Structure 1
């Protein structure tokens, strides 16, 4: 779903991406987002990681919910 979303987002636009799979590592997921954007011809101008709200706790400090705001 990321590639069509990247292609539908206007230049200078933003895209909010989420992943809620605990087995997926944050750094690996961010790398995957960057690779997909580059492959689609829409390299990222910026990527801000947003922390989950306090009411979404994690026992091990690795939140299953990962949120990234991509700037195109």
Structure 2
């Protein structure tokens, strides 16, 4: 299964969480969970980030509910 499909399935299954850092960033950017989910479900992996010793991260670029393009950083545990 492709990485983007695995990430999307986590959203569909509600098998994910937001880190406190992510919640802070969402607050700063005036985004809510309702903005992040469609961005992941409709977006595309824009970049694979491999230099973090905690694991590979993926930047997904997609539309928020208000039409803004947002970047979401995801990591698998």
Q: Is TM > 0.5 for Structure 1 vs Structure 2?
A: no
Normalised by the length of structure 1, the TM-score is 0.29
Give the structure with the higher percent helix: 2
